[in-house]
Structure 1
Amino acid sequence: MKRTSLYTILFALAFITLTAFTYFKRHKENVAQTKTALKIVKTWTLPASLNEVSGIAWAADNLIACVQDEEGKIFLYDIVQHKVVQEIAFADAGDYEGISVVNNDAYVMRSDGLLYQIKNYRSADRQVHSFQTAFNADNNIESLHYDAKQHTFITIPKDDDKEETSKNIYRVKEGQNGKWITTPTFKIDMQASELKEFRGKKVAKTLNLSELAIDPKSEDILVLEGKNPKLLVLSAEGKIKQVYTLDKSLYAQPEGLTFSPDGRMFIANEAGKKDGKANIVEVRLNR
């Protein structure tokens, strides 16, 4: 082997080693920073029926509405009694990912963009309607949140979006004749400096976002990633303020996010490992 080739190989190995060391050092530092900023103050272990919990929403005093990605049911979980107190069927089996509760009605988003409206959802004579939004299965929609100030829903595609270098937060609202209007409102730049360490060869794959919610106190938009657990804090205008790398031992696969009216934050985690258990954790964010 020529000496030049040997030097090239040694240089490449050194570069790869340094890059890997730098990445893992930053990752460790970010996880440590997150443990300081995010504190779990309470944990609720969910029943096996919610091992695949995919979305949560504050429903009423002490009640969190949950959906999972297999059954067309809403599970009402009481955080005082530590149990599911009501199961509400609204559709056949399907990949249900996001849920919002607006007064007496519940709204559930299927991953292909089909939005279910369950009017008087806790009543025996509830009515179920479904509407196709502008999204489809390629977008893989996993999020839904009701913005009470703007009277619209917001969501963000987990996978394909219109642009390779950004992910849009969309407003979804009911229009005329049963049609739903979808409008891109905020843009998360995948090339932002705050996301540099998470970028790979495909910029579009920098983040695979699983849920979002608006903090009622600060009006910040908080966005979760479940695949490689992260929590993004965005300003009300959609600008990145902070990115927290979540510890997988505490957040196995964060898929659900909601706030109580007084600003308590709750994150739902899928069971993750085969012998794992899904949970809801109440988290305090020290900014």
Structure 2
Amino acid sequence: MKYLSLYIILGVMLIAGVLSFFFYKKSMREEEEVLAKATYTIHKTWEFPQILNEVSGIAWVNDSTLACIQDEEGVIYDFNLITSEITHDVRFGEDADYEAIALKGKQAYVMRSDGLVFEIADYTLDTLDVSPFDTPFDAQNNMESLAYNPKTDLLVTVPKDRGLKKDRYKGLYAISPETKTMGENPLFNIDMKTKTLDSIQKKKAENNFYPSDLAIHPKTGDYYLVDGRNLKLLILTQSGKVKALHNLNRYHFEQPEGIAFSPEGRLFIANEAAGGVATLLEITLEE
């Protein structure tokens, strides 16, 4: 009886080992297939400090620094690209759901998920001059995108969940930093039923693409919108024409929530930890 039990245990261990090896090989094959389909090249990867596990927005500062926010604290963090450390942090507001940041020089603009924007006159100071202002958006729109366009001197945003008109379109809207007002009409609308999004068609058209953040290419003026749920990167021309849709595979992009360009066109995407480690990737896209 003693030997029988031993044989049973050994048999179970052998079967478990074979199954583990099978699933490991299957996982490796799937990963190789996904990586083979990647339409981008990763140049460098950084790991964020734990305080940025919930990183939700990034903005270019200079060759060594990105400004970052996370969606639980009203704090702006400067992340050093050389040392992978936070070199400066400053509180601009109480803890809340902050989702996007844009910079106009030393002026910072941070958007809360309900559409409220915080203008910080000079975020590099220890004592801040903060002026919040409203937009037509609310929590149902779930705002997570904000970018500054130096060519037009306008901020640009797009709702993540529901468009203002509750239909199949999500519009990109311009906000004037000077008047703190937004035009009634969008710069253009993104059709959630466009053929480009056929691979992720959902029951409700508004669910086909969830903009988690946007950035404007400094040379072409194209709009780059990242989707942290469907793991996509959508590129639109200045007039709103769909230019390309890139898949962001899960082995590199656990939950992409922030996107930014350097003035030369270097592209950075930030990932929330999502159970692992929050990361920053610099990538180049295939044409």
**TM-score, normalising length: structure 1:** 0.85
Match of residue 252 from structure 1:
254
For structure 1, the 5+ residue unaligned runs are 1-26
Match of residue 210 from structure 1:
212
1:170 pairs with 164, 173, 181, which one?
173
Match of residue 12 from structure 1:
none
Do the aligned partners of 2:46 and 2:281 also contact (CA within 8 Å) in 1? yes
Q: Within 1, Cα distance between the matches of 2:37 and 2:232?
A: 10
What residue identity is the alignment partner of 2:102? S
For structure 2, the 5+ residue unaligned runs are 1-29
State yes or no: 1:284 paired with 2:284: yes
Do the aligned partners of 2:99 and 2:110 also contact (CA within 8 Å) in 1? yes
| Counterpart secondary structure, 2:225 | strand
User: CA 1:84–1:28 in 2, change beyond 3 Å: closer, same or farther?
Assistant: closer
- What is the percent sequence identity of the aligned residues? 41
What residue identity is the alignment partner of 2:173? Y
| Counterpart secondary structure, 2:265 | coil
| Counterpart secondary structure, 1:204 | helix
Shift of 1:61: 2.9
Residue-by-residue CA offset, 1:105-134 (whole Å, 9 max, x unaligned): 111000001100111111123211100111
What is the aligned-residue RMSD (CA, Å)? 1.9
Shift of 1:217: 2.2
**TM-score, normalising length: structure 2:** 0.85
Aligned length in residues: 256
Shift of 1:104: 1.5
Residue-by-residue CA offset, 1:67-97 (whole Å, 9 max, x unaligned): 0000000010010121110111000000000
Match of residue 192 from structure 2:
190
Q: Within 2, Cα distance between the matches of 1:198 and 1:125?
A: 46
1:55 pairs with 54, 57, 66, which one?
57
1:236 pairs with 228, 238, 242, which one?
238
Residue-by-residue CA offset, 1:35-83 (whole Å, 9 max, x unaligned): 1x21111011001100000000001231100000000000100101211
Q: Within 1, Cα distance between the matches of 2:220 and 2:96?
A: 35
Residue-by-residue CA offset, 1:173-199 (whole Å, 9 max, x unaligned): 1464xx422441111111111111211
Match of residue 78 from structure 1:
80
Computing the radius of gyration over CA atoms, which structure comes out larger, 1 or 2? 2
